[in-house]
Amino acid sequence: MSKKTALVTGGAGFVGSHIADYLKNEGWNVVVADNLSTGKESNISDDIDLELIDLTTGDINKLTKLIKPNSIFHTAAQVSVSKSTKLASFDAEQNIVVTIKILEALSTVGKGNESFLFISTGGAIYGNTKTIPANESLIPKPESPYAISKFSSENYIKYFRKNHKIKTSIVRPANIYGPRQDPNGEAGVIAIFINSMLNNKNINIFGDGENIRDYIYITDLVKGCILASELYLPYPINLGTEKGTSVLEIFNTLSKYCKYKLNPVFLDKRPGDIDKIILDINKAKNLLKWSPDIILEDGLKRTIDWFVKNN
């Protein structure tokens, strides 16, 4: 049987590079499409090809015809909630328009049987919901342009699925963490904290540090994404751990593991940040037969080890 080909947009980034590696290990041909805006070439394994392309301006039809993917894993995005509040139109171009362009390419020059996985957000799409853990049947209440762009993309995906028969899947991940996460961006509190702690730099906490998040380790997330892409269910699936941890708890645990002695600097809460989110993962458990394996303490230790080796 001939090898299947996957196109991983954003495959030089944190999540995309792990998905690319997983598929490569499973015997796929893997091509990464990335503009290296936040991703790094060093995240891409030697046996994976890179198509250097800015998906907002590049020719996605040409790329689709060239690669002829069986599956597209669309992870490229502007990922910072904070940046989205300052640059909403930039966020919409990167996150909504690019998603539509890929779907248009699949529906016009695609073979007609490709699968398409979209990484939405479980951490931001439900807003400050009172229903904790948040399940997928809640009506999204996006509080930031980033969350709006993800919800909007989900709706476009539904449209293309219905009218162009694309085998789409949508996952809504909690906060993802692990090796290769960019510590220099505005998102990814665990990577930012570890990097600062290992370099003995000051750490800013926005708000009082009591805001609660659900943190999922990257290998668990990748497994959930692959399962979702194989089933292409018609509705979004949360991927999280059903456990909530405050930013201060993360700070304290990492301080202990990294032997960091400085106190955090508390700054004003940022617009768009929500107070508490924990995801209900019953759908993923029942339909994907998926549940997370890595508990937070282990995931944090693995992530620190990686940063120590790659600092």
Ligand X SMILES: NC(=O)c1ccc[n+]([C@@H]2O[C@H](COP(=O)([O-])OP(=O)(O)OC[C@H]3O[C@@H](n4cnc5c(N)ncnc54)[C@H](O)[C@@H]3O)[C@@H](O)[C@H]2O)c1
Helices (H) and strands (E) in the chain, counts: 11, 13
List helix spans (H) across the chain.
14-25, 60-67, 81-86, 88-92, 98-108, 145-164, 189-198, 218-231, 247-258, 282-283, 296-310
Q: Which residue from 83, 91, 76 is spatially nearest to 37, judged by alpha carbons?
A: 76
Site string for ligand X, 208-247 (x = CB under 6 A): ----------------------------------------
Catalytic residue status for 235 = no
117: contact with ligand X by CB under 6 A: no
**Alpha carbon distance, N-terminus to C-terminus of the chain:** 42
73: contact with ligand X by CB under 6 A: no
55: contact with ligand X by CB under 6 A: yes
Place of tokens 């091509």: 31
> Residue 54 in contact with residue 42, Cβ under 8 Å?
no
Site string for ligand X, 5-44 (x = CB under 6 A): -----x-xxxxx-----------------xxxxxx-----
Q: Which range, of 73-81, 102-110, 161-169, 245-253, touches ligand X by CB under 6 A?
A: 73-81
Q: In angstroms, what is the minimal distance from the CB of 144 to ligand X?
A: 12
Q: In angstroms, what is the minimal distance from the CB of 261 to ligand X?
A: 27
Site string for ligand X, 166-195 (x = CB under 6 A): -------x-xx-----x-----x-------
Q: Which residue from 41, 54, 55 is spatially nearest to 12, judged by alpha carbons?
A: 41
> Residue 205 in contact with residue 248, Cβ under 8 Å?
yes
Q: In angstroms, what is the minimal distance from the CB of 77 to ligand X?
A: 3
Type of residue found at 284: A
Q: In angstroms, what is the minimal distance from the CB of 118 to ligand X?
A: 8
Type of residue found at 300: L
Q: Which is nearer to ligand X, 165 or 227 (CB)?
A: 227
Type of residue found at 53: I
Three-state secondary-structure class, residue 181: coil
Marked catalytic residue, from 22, 126, 146, 260: 146
Q: In angstroms, what is the minimal distance from the CB of 58 to ligand X?
A: 7
Report, as residue numbers or ranges, the catalytic residues. 146
Footprint on this chain of ligand X (rule: CB under 6 A): 10, 12-16, 34-39, 54-56, 75-77, 79, 94, 98, 119, 121, 123, 173, 175-176, 182, 188
